[in-house]
Structure formats: C-alpha cells, structure tokens
Chains A and B, each alone.
Chain A
Amino acid sequence: MANHTEHPDYVGHLIPAKLYYVIWAILMVGTAITVFAATVELGVFNIVVALVIATIKGTLVVLFFMHLRYSDKLTMVTVVASIFWLFILFSLTMTDYISRAWSTYSGH
C-alpha cells in the first residue's frame, strides 16, 4: 500500500480495503449497541447515548467512507460549516421554545 502515496494527488488517496472492513465492523457493532441501549431504561440518557453513538458512526462514515480525513482543508471547512449552520438553526429556534415557559410572570 505504501507505494500509493507516491501517486499524484488527483488520483485521490487510496485507502486500504482492510480499513474499510474495520470501519464497517465498528458501524455494525455501534448499531447493535444502539438497539441494545434503547432496551435499557436510562431516562434522559437514552437519547444522549443514542446520539453519541450516532455521532461516532456518522463521524466514521464522513472521515473514512467519504474520505474527509484525506481531503483538503476547504472540504473540512465545508463540513464544519454545515454543522455550524445546523447549530444556528436548532439553537436559535430552541431559544424561543425553551424560554417561552419562563415568560409566565408570577407577578413582580
């Protein structure tokens, strides 16, 4: 595999097939854990666990299957931008919904 690093850039980085299998295995195990974790009652932590696993899985897909790890900075900025703008959409919308309950005044 080592000789592939000498390939010109535009061929793209050739990732060893073994790595793909490892990622695949992690993703499958992650799915199993998610399903299992959902059967255990953890209160609010159910969603936290589920989302953490989903995020790990998603990160692996983006980094390796989508080759982000081997891409240039611009592509990484694109991915970060997408997360940032989703965050804007979610957080500022929730600013309204979360604080609506506070708006009830018990006098002053």
Chain B
Amino acid sequence: MATAVQTVERENYLNSNYGIKSWLLTTDHKRIAILYLISITAMFWIGGFFAMMIRLELLTPAGDLVSSDTYNKLFTMHGIIMVFFFLIPSVPAVLGNFLIPLMVGAKDLAFPRVNLLSWYLYIIGGSTALVAMVTGGVDTGWTFYTPFSTTYSNTHVIGAAVGIFITGFSSILTGLNFIVTIHRMRAPGLTWRRLPLFCWSNYAAALIMILGTPVIAITLLLVAFERAFHIGVFNPALGGDPLLFQHLFWFYSHPAVYIMILPGMGVISEIITCFSRKRVFGYEFVALASIAIAVLGFLVWAHHMFVAGISVYAALVFSLLSYLVAIPSAVKVFNWTATLYKGSIRYETPMLYAFGFIGLFTIGGLTGVFLASLGLDVHVTDTYFVVAHFHYVMVGGMVMAYMAGLHFWWPKMTGRMYPEAWAKLSALLVFVGFNTTFFPQFILGYMGSPRRYHAYPPEFQVLNVLSTAGASILAVGYVLPMIYFTWSLRYGEPAGPNPYNAVGLEWMTQSPPPTHNFDETPVVTWEAYDYEHQPQEEVTVGHE
C-alpha cells in the first residue's frame, strides 16, 4: 500500500475541479450520485441507531429502557427514515444515478439540472423530517394511519408529512429522469434487447415512482391539512372514512416496496452474470419480469388491509392478484440460479452478497405468499411475522443488493479497490447477523406477538433476545464496510478501468470516469452480457 501510485492521474469527474461550490452546484450525474451516497449513508446510520434502540428495549419483556412514548417515536422514525430516506433512494439515486448514463452510453441524464434539484429536494425534505424528529418526534408509525395521525397524536405529524411530501418529489424527478434517459439517450446500437438488466429494473422502478408517488404526496398533504384546519376527509368523527386513507396510502406504499426491490434485482443480474461469466439465463424473461412486477405491483395494495374492514369480496380480488405478483419474482430467482449452470464462478465479495440476496429474497418472497393467503393473513398480519417478512425483503433483499452493488461498482466510482478479505468477512457477518435477527421473528409472529409493542408477554423473551443478539452482529457487519470503504479511498489499490473483466459500457471507460463519461460516443454492436467474446484474462486485482 505504501507504494500507492503517485503518477499524475488522468482527469476524471472527481478531480476535474475542486471546492465545495463545484460539488453543490454540479449537474454531473456522477457527482450527484456521490452527494446522494453521503446523504443516504447518514440517514442509514440515523435509522440504524433507532433500530438498535428498539432492539435493546426489546431485550426484556418489561418496557424498561425507554418510555412507551419514546419507543413509539423510535419505531416511527426508524420506519420513516429507512423507507423514505434510505431504501427508496438507495440503489436508484446512488447507483442508478451513477450508472444509468454510463450504461446507456450517454454523457449525462436527460435533465441534469432536474437531477440536482432532486437532490436538493431530498435534502430539504430530509431536513424537514429530521427537524420534526429532533424537536419532539413523531409517533404515528410510518403508515400515518388516520384518525390517529390526524386527530389523536400530539406529535410533529405535519413536519414529517411535509418532509415526506417534498422528498416524494425528489423521487418523482429521479424516476422521470431515468425513464426519459433510457428512452431517449441510448447510444447508437443499444436496442432495448441489448439494454443491461440494471437499466430495465430501474426503468420499472421509475415507472412506480412517477405513477405512485404523487398519490401518497396528495394523501399526506390531506393529512397535514386535516391536522392543521380540522377538516375531516379521513376522520370518521367528521364523516370521513379512515379506510380511504389506507387505500390511497397503500396504493403508493405497496408498489413502493417494488421501488425498493426492483433496482436491487437489477444489481444482482449484473453481478451474477459477471462472476459466472455468462449471459443471463432467459434475458427477456428477467427483463419483462421487472415490468410485470411494476404493473402487477399496483394491483395488490389492499392485501395490507385484509383485516382492516374492507369487504370480503374485495379481499378476495386483492388476494388473487397478490399471488400473481409472486410469479415474476419467482421467475427471476429461477433464472438467476439457472445462470450459474455451466458458468465459471468466482466468489468475489459482490457475488457473495448476490448469493445472500437470492437466498434471503426467496425466503422473503415465499413468506409474502403466506400474507397473500387470506386465511393465514388474518392471523399473522400486524405481528412480528410481517416485520420479519418485510425485513427479509428490504434488508435481506434490498440492502444486500445495495451492498453488493456498492462493492461491485466501488472501483468504478472511486478508482480504488476495497480490501477483499475484510469485505468477505463483513458479507458473512451481515448474512449471519441478519438471519439471527429476523428468522426468530417469523416464529414470534406465528406465536402471536403483535408488532409495535413496547412491552411484551414474558414467553416471547427468548426469541427477542436472540433477535437482539443477531442485530449486534448485523451492526458490526455494516460498520466494517463503512470503515474499509473510507480507508480504501486513500489506501486502496488502484482499480483500473475494468477490475472484474466485466462487460457493459460502464466498464469501457476509465475509473473513475471522466466528466463526460466517454471520450467518444460508444456504438454498441453486441448483445447484453456478451461474456463469450470477452477475453478471460486472469484478474490482476483481487486475492486468488
């Protein structure tokens, strides 16, 4: 490491100019991606801190560490921050922002200034929500169910709602930019059938962003107005229907789950192909499954409301549709697995995360089928079963994919390699820690432990202790990458343009890429994942 290369680096997007202004007023998608990376990492740690407090409180059955009010605020803020300020922007706003123009061979996203605006909206929205949290917090749960949120809660609901409202527009603008970029900015020869699957899945997620987000924006605005002016669109005491709120809320918030997972699926498709050196099995099916998930995802929202008082016939319809959305996800899992067949597989860190993703997402997806089943849902909804299920999808799926992607493209983003051994260790810690934390919660849920409980009956303690123990392992698994990524910025080995010998336009430019991405506009004449024609020289960086 002491012999770090001291030669003059080529000009790239990081060293083309310096100074705070060159960052805060940048319209370069790569710099905006870095801005997003820093902001969502901060949000991740804030949300993670709340999670740790929750787990510590749940070590004992009695509510002894924090008061019930504090506990309610903790899980609310954990939910709001993780969902709206970490998971939704994570892969799209960081990796998508950085990679989509590179992958389609463009100089930038279609609307660079809108992209910067989107980051500022994120910061303004995030700050608004954080101010609301610091000055007293919110205790409605991230779901803001009425009439509790409109009438009974005495906390800063309006601040949090307005924060999410503003951030919603950040998400809409990102999605809009992606869709327009993928439609209009592709390099010559890059047809839809040659498009990397990462672009396909981000495209699908972007569809949800622009179609779903406005609905929750207007809904939360109504909630804020109801609180401020005492009107009653959702308040039964004034003739409103609280279920209408739930319909409108879940119309976005269920598809939002797919905003979170779809880009992660894209990351996995890139990584699995690279490290098994194969074209993805059934490219069209994987690509179209993304779109199918995005569309079907809009048809299933009321499965969050099976016991909420909706009509049994509507429940039946939504249950049927919910089963359908499971199918394209299953198709993806099978195709990824089949891609390994007769491949030439290397176990680099991103691949380990990808294996973890497939396994955990399978569990998360299959337990989703339990929740789609009406008879079972009645018992397990609003229990720890649901908590475990969506953490398997969100953390086991999405965060694993995000970590996989971050490792995979870290050399591209920074020009430096991360330390492989430490990275493998942390991948292992995350996998073990995650399962120890959340698997017991499935059992807890079936035993009937309701969620959002500050204190619980003593018979649930053993599993809760196990869960908290797992959470500490998980925390170590997340702290490690934070340290070695920072370390690698200075001491990591220079990566070279293509350390994994991967295909894809993003690997055909230098690392880090120059401000204009490509010296000349690339012309694509090959299919996606064309590993057959990629020379298979031994990788020089790495440890095998």
Q: In the complex they form, do A and B come into direct contact, defined as C-beta atoms under 8 angstroms apart?
A: yes
B310 touches A88 (CB 8 A): no
Q: Does A10 contact B (CB under 8 A)?
A: no
A89's nearest neighbour on chain B, judged by CB, is: B251
The interface stretch among B131-139, B312-320, B330-338 is B312-320
A100 touches B215 (CB 8 A): no
Residues of B near A88 (CB, < 8 A) are: 298-299
Q: Does B516 contact A (CB under 8 A)?
A: no
A96 touches B298 (CB 8 A): no
Taken together as a complex, chains A and B put the C-alpha atoms of A95 and B300 apart, in Å, by 12
* Nearest CB of chain A from residue B18's CB, rounded to whole Å: 39
Q: Does B379 contact A (CB under 8 A)?
A: no
Of B215, B248, B301, B313, most buried by chain A (CB within 10 Å of CB) is B313
Residue in B183, B211, B314 whose beta carbon sits within 8 Å of that of A95 in the complex: B314
B313 touches A103 (CB 8 A): yes
* Nearest CB of chain A from residue B146's CB, rounded to whole Å: 16
A86's nearest neighbour on chain B, judged by CB, is: B211
Residues of A near B310 (CB, < 8 A) are: 96, 100
A92 touches B311 (CB 8 A): no
Q: Does B160 contact A (CB under 8 A)?
A: no
Taken together as a complex, chains A and B put the C-alpha atoms of A95 and B215 apart, in Å, by 18
Given that A92-B299, A96-B243 are contacting pairs, would A102 and B311 also be in contact in the complex, using a CB cutoff of 8 Å? yes
Q: Does B289 contact A (CB under 8 A)?
A: no
Interface string of A22-34 (1 = CB under 8 A from B): 0000000000000
* Nearest CB of chain A from residue B309's CB, rounded to whole Å: 9
Interface positions, chain B 275-305, Cβ under 8 Å from A, are: 298-299, 301-302
Given that A99-B313, A102-B311, A103-B312 are contacting pairs, would A93 and B247 also be in contact in the complex, using a CB cutoff of 8 Å? yes
A89 touches B215 (CB 8 A): yes
Taken together as a complex, chains A and B put the C-alpha atoms of A89 and B299 apart, in Å, by 9
Taken together as a complex, chains A and B put the C-alpha atoms of A97 and B243 apart, in Å, by 10
Q: Does A36 contact B (CB under 8 A)?
A: no
A95 touches B317 (CB 8 A): yes
Given that A74-B183, A88-B298, A88-B299 are contacting pairs, would A96 and B314 also be in contact in the complex, using a CB cutoff of 8 Å? yes
Of B299, B301, B310, most buried by chain A (CB within 10 Å of CB) is B310
Q: Does A85 contact B (CB under 8 A)?
A: yes
Taken together as a complex, chains A and B put the C-alpha atoms of A96 and B311 apart, in Å, by 6
Residues of B near A85 (CB, < 8 A) are: 211, 298
Residues of B near A93 (CB, < 8 A) are: 244, 247-248, 251
Residues of A near B248 (CB, < 8 A) are: 93
Residues of A near B183 (CB, < 8 A) are: 74
Residues of B near A100 (CB, < 8 A) are: 310-311, 314
Residue in A81, A96, A102, A103 whose beta carbon sits within 8 Å of that of B302 in the complex: A96
Interface string of A68-108 (1 = CB under 8 A from B): 00000010000001000100110011011101101100000
Of B248, B301, B314, most buried by chain A (CB within 10 Å of CB) is B314
B298 touches A95 (CB 8 A): no
Residues of B near A81 (CB, < 8 A) are: 211
B211's nearest neighbour on chain A, judged by CB, is: A85
Residues of B near A96 (CB, < 8 A) are: 243, 247, 302, 310-311, 314
Residues of A near B211 (CB, < 8 A) are: 81, 85
Residues of B near A97 (CB, < 8 A) are: 311
What 10 A-B pairs are tightest by C-beta distance, nearest first? A96-B314, A99-B313, A100-B311, A99-B311, A96-B310, A95-B314, A103-B311, A93-B247, A85-B211, A88-B298
Other 13 A-B pairs with CB < 8 A, given A100-B311, A103-B311: A74-B183, A81-B211, A85-B298, A89-B215, A92-B299, A92-B314, A92-B317, A93-B248, A95-B311, A95-B314, A95-B317, A96-B247, A100-B310
